[in-house]
Amino acid sequence: MSALLNGKLKYLFLVPIIILIAFALFFEHAYAEIQREILSEKLVDKEKELELIAGMTDKYVERDKDWGSYDYAADIAVLIEDIDAMPNVYAALYDENHNLLSKRLGEADSRLLNPFNSPDFVNAVGRSEAGGLTVPYDKGDGQPPIPMYCYFRWVPSDPSAGNRLLLVNGVSPESVVTKPEGWLAAGMAAQTAVTFLINMGFVVMLCSLGHVYKSREGKKWRGPQ
């Protein structure tokens, strides 16, 4: 084996290693992309949930002409609290003065997200009827803040209405509980390992053939000198 490591052919052993690293980087990137796609889909779903609540509220207000006399906040709060109960999902209902109207899951916990701690969020809800932005969320566990992707919507849609309500929800990367199937990860690992072993075998074989060829060339009879 030591003979195979002498000469230029020894550099062929780098080829399987490079291929192994390339496969590992590719699969890592592919896995991250899958997670990003799942998170993106979840963001769209949560945005649609708020739009659905806001749309229903607008229809009832337009039909019954009872904004200000009927307690819409109580009905909306129930829906918002159901969303907030989902794992690693944030949802809350506020009044125009940023007072919390819905109950938060674990509301006694001071580490609960308050988007109004972010100046960017305060500015956004002050100048827009709806929108989305990323709010840093410090969980108070000694780790760096994680991004919370928030979406907000004012109701009713009529900006001239008094005592409007602000609906907010958000998701973080930690809310993605769906993972790629185990067989997919196992298949990726198996493919990488088999490819590495096959390529390494080819390299050993090439180096052996090269060594044998050189040995035969050295023993070839060249006639009288």
Structure confidence by residue, pLDDT tens digits, 47-65: 899 999 999 999 999 999 9
**Strand, coil or helix: 53:** helix
pLDDT of residue 218: 52
In a domain, 211, yes or no: no
pLDDT of residue 138: 82
Give the CATH number of the domain where residue 105 resides.
3.30.450.20
In a domain, 168, yes or no: yes
Tell me the whole-structure pTM to 2 decimals: 0.67
In a domain, 89, yes or no: yes
In a domain, 19, yes or no: no
Structure confidence by residue, pLDDT tens digits, 150-162: 999 999 999 999 8
Q: Which residues of the chain have pLDDT under 50?
A: 1-4, 220-225
pLDDT of residue 223: 45
pLDDT of residue 3: 47
Angstrom distances, CA of residue 196 to CA of 2, 25, 91, 151, 182 = 21, 14, 48, 46, 21
Per the structure, the count of domains in the chain is 1
Angstrom distances, CA of residue 97 to CA of 132, 134, 164, 175, 192 = 20, 21, 10, 29, 57
% of the chain with per-residue pLDDT over 90: 39
Side-chain-facing half-sphere of 85: CA atoms under 13 Å: 8
Domain containing 70: what range?
26-175
pLDDT of residue 26: 75
